[in-house]
Structure 1
Amino acid sequence: MKKSLSTRITVLTALVLSLTFLCACSNENGDNNNENILNQDLTASDINALLFMLEEEKLARDTYMFLDNQWSLNQFANIQNSEQTHMDAVESLLIQYGIDYNILPVGEFENQTLQDFYNQFITEGSVSQINALKVGAKIEDLDIVDLQDHLVATANTDLLLVFSSLQCGSKNHLRSFVHGIENLGSIYEPQFLTSEGYNSIISSSHEQCN
């Protein structure tokens, strides 16, 4: 038992260390080693959260890929790679717990709400660079709120660890998009976060998400 627990802690620690690169919008992906991990029980809510977040992180990645092709802005080039690492982190937990999942081609989603968001975001983001950056901010805004809901709903320490790291990265991404919006002379108004929550994030410095 002690050997398995130690191995699990080592793997999860490595995962968190890899996730710190998300927050700096790096191009490196984490190394997810899932062997000999001591699993905890997952509730139905936990399973649904993992499946949903896999597609929501895919929503971010796919949208940023599209907008990067449209505008060639650094934010999209850098953050789309971080979103792939977000997906890898969630996928590693799905594999760890033996949960069936499916990753559809770019721009396609099983969840209709996310499909509708994607269709809306690529249309909005194609109008102008400012609109594109606001789409990025809106996605991170949504991601932070959804992750917070999942964090409150779970007692599973694996999910708490990974979702907290993803949320930290999303806050840094939001700051990056808002900075770009303001540099172009516009402002972003939060769509999902409360004004207080949004202002708290924007007024804070870039985070190291350990």
Structure 2
Amino acid sequence: MKKLSTLFLMGVILLGVLAAGCTSSQTTTETTTPTQTNTVPLVADSSGDVNTQDLQSYIDSLPAEPLTDAEKEGLIYMVEEEKLAHDVYTKLYEKWGLPIFSNIAKSETTHVESVRMLLKKYNLTDPTASEGIGEFQNEELQKLYDQLIEMGMKSEVDALKVGALIEETDIKDLQEWLSRTNKVDIITVYENLMMGSRNHLRSFVDQLKNRGVTYEPQVLPKDEYEAIISSPMETGGGMGGKP
């Protein structure tokens, strides 16, 4: 019960960071599911790794249009959030030696690089450029990182719950930022990252299930969460845009 209470508290903390990162006065009601219609090329695989070479080629083929303040804010926030996931998983792998953390940390590297492509394209300063593991310019993300590490160091189960919680939050944040842009290149990156996060969430939930633990969603609506974990791993179809 104590662990469940701790997880609930972390969910509340994550929701607070979500609110800080996405300042829109309205929350999107759109539900993202694995069966959404693909209007952009999906170049992530079942491990969540993004084919950055293909993605870069596609991004370069699109014109650089003026960004809104919200679009700039979203890119700067998401590059640090993806780095947070990478850094947490790196530290949890060092502690527990579970391959899932090493594998997904590698995948998160491609997620960070995907957002960096857009920062470079639009001449935005990369807040992660000179930051080491566990270092963030966003104060709320710095605080969140510290809290997640503290929780994940308690046990393997707590560490896996941290992973699931991060992926839930990543999906929710990406949905929010998607609702605030109409730029095809940004949408393409966010859709690929979100598909990767759904695969990562499935992996963490499966690992917990193998240990006899039923994970309860902390951030996503339960019906959306169930739709994700009850669906198979997704694989992008490359530049054709069809899975």
Give the TM-score of the pair, scaled to structure 2: 0.75
Shift of 1:116: 1.3
- How far, CA to CA, are the matches of 1:153 and 1:70 in structure 2? 38
2:154 aligned with 1:131: no
Residue 70 of structure 2 aligns to which amino acid in structure 1?
S
2:103 aligned with 1:81: no
2:206 aligned with 1:179: yes
Secondary structure at the residue paired with 1:206?
coil
- How far, CA to CA, are the matches of 1:191 and 1:36 in structure 2? 38
Contact 1:25 1:82 in 2 (8 A): yes
Contact 2:62 2:185 in 1 (8 A): no
Query: Per-residue CA shift, 1:90-109, capped at 9, x if unaligned?
Result: 00010011111221111011
- Taking only the aligned residue pairs, the percentage that are identical comes to 40
2:137 aligned with 1:114: no
**Structure ranking higher in helix proportion:** 1
Query: Per-residue CA shift, 1:162-209, capped at 9, x if unaligned?
Result: 101100100000000000011011121111101111111111111113
- How far, CA to CA, are the matches of 1:116 and 1:179 in structure 2? 28
Query: Per-residue CA shift, 1:12-53, capped at 9, x if unaligned?
Result: 96xx53xx13x4245x86234676752122111000000000
Secondary structure at the residue paired with 1:42?
coil
- Find the counterpart in structure 2 of residue 30 from structure 1: 52
Unaligned ranges ≥5, structure 2: 1-39, 238-243
- How far, CA to CA, are the matches of 1:40 and 1:157 in structure 2? 10
Name which of 173, 197, 202 aligns with 2:229: 202
- How far, CA to CA, are the matches of 2:207 and 2:170 in structure 1? 19
- How far, CA to CA, are the matches of 1:162 and 1:37 in structure 2? 13
Higher relative contact order (CA 8 A, sep 6+): 2
- How far, CA to CA, are the matches of 1:189 and 1:208 in structure 2? 25
- How far, CA to CA, are the matches of 1:174 and 1:165 in structure 2? 14
The aligned runs of 1:11-160 (5 Å cut-off) are 16-17=42-43, 20-21=44-45, 23-25=46-48, 30-31=52-53, 32=56, 38-103=63-128, 104-160=131-187
- How far, CA to CA, are the matches of 1:207 and 1:151 in structure 2? 19
- How far, CA to CA, are the matches of 1:37 and 1:25 in structure 2? 24
- How far, CA to CA, are the matches of 1:46 and 1:166 in structure 2? 16
Number of residue pairs the alignment of both structures matches: 193
Give the TM-score of the pair, scaled to structure 1: 0.86
Secondary structure at the residue paired with 1:107?
coil
Residue 153 of structure 2 aligns to which amino acid in structure 1?
S
Contact 1:41 1:156 in 2 (8 A): no
- How far, CA to CA, are the matches of 2:117 and 2:139 in structure 1? 24
- How far, CA to CA, are the matches of 2:169 and 2:211 in structure 1? 22
Contact 1:133 1:180 in 2 (8 A): yes
The aligned runs of 1:156-167 (5 Å cut-off) are 156-167=183-194
Residue 24 of structure 1 aligns to which amino acid in structure 2?
S
Q: Which runs of 4+ in 1 moved over 4 A?
A: 33-37
Q: Which moved more, 1:56-65 or 1:97-106?
A: 97-106
Inter-CA distance 151–36: structure 2 relative to 1 (3 Å threshold): closer
Residue 47 of structure 2 aligns to which amino acid in structure 1?
A
- How far, CA to CA, are the matches of 1:87 and 1:191 in structure 2? 24
Unaligned ranges ≥5, structure 1: 1-11
